[in-house]
Amino acid sequence: MCKQLSHIKHAAKHNIPLMLCDNEAELRKIARCHPKAKVLLLLTSEICCEREETIIPFGSTLKDCRHLLECAKELNIHVTGVKFNIPSCCQDTQSFSRAVSDARCVFDMGEELGFEMNILDIGGGFDGSEAQLEKVNRTLKPMLDMYFPLSTGVSIIAEPGAYYVSAAFTLAVNIIAKKAVGRDFIGQPHNALSANDEPEILYYMNEGVYGSFANKLLCEDSIPVPSPHKEVAAEEPLFSSSLWGPSDDDLDQVLERCLLPELTVGDWLLFSNAGATFTNTDEHKPPIFYTITECDWNEIHNCGVTLDTRMKNFSLVPCCLQSSMSKTSISTPA
Domain with CATH 2.40.37.10 in the chain: 167-282
Reported as a single tens digit per residue, the pLDDT across 116-141 is 999 999 998 787 778 888 888 999 99
25 three-state secondary structure: helix
pLDDT over threshold 80, residue 290: no
- pLDDT band at 193; cut points 50, 70, 90: very low
Contact between residue 40 and residue 84 where contact means Cβ atoms under 8 Å apart: no
- pLDDT band at 310; cut points 50, 70, 90: low
209 three-state secondary structure: coil
pLDDT over threshold 70, residue 56: no
Contact between residue 157 and residue 170 where contact means Cβ atoms under 8 Å apart: no
What is the mean predicted confidence (pLDDT) over 10-24?
94
Q: What are phi and psi of 199, to 5 degrees?
A: -70, 160
What mean pLDDT, rounded, does the chain reach? 81
| CATH T-level assignment (fold) for domain 5-164 | TIM Barrel (3.20.20)
Q: Answer yes or no: pTM beyond 0.85.
A: no
What is the mean predicted confidence (pLDDT) over 3-31?
94
193 three-state secondary structure: coil
Architecture of domain 167-282: Beta Barrel (2.40)
- pLDDT band at 194; cut points 50, 70, 90: very low
Q: What is the pLDDT of residue 1?
A: 66
Q: What is the pLDDT of residue 150?
A: 93
Domain with CATH 3.20.20.10 in the chain: 5-164
Q: Which of 97-106, 161-170, 188-197 has the highest mean pLDDT?
A: 97-106
Q: How far apart are CA 317 and CA 295, in angstroms?
A: 9
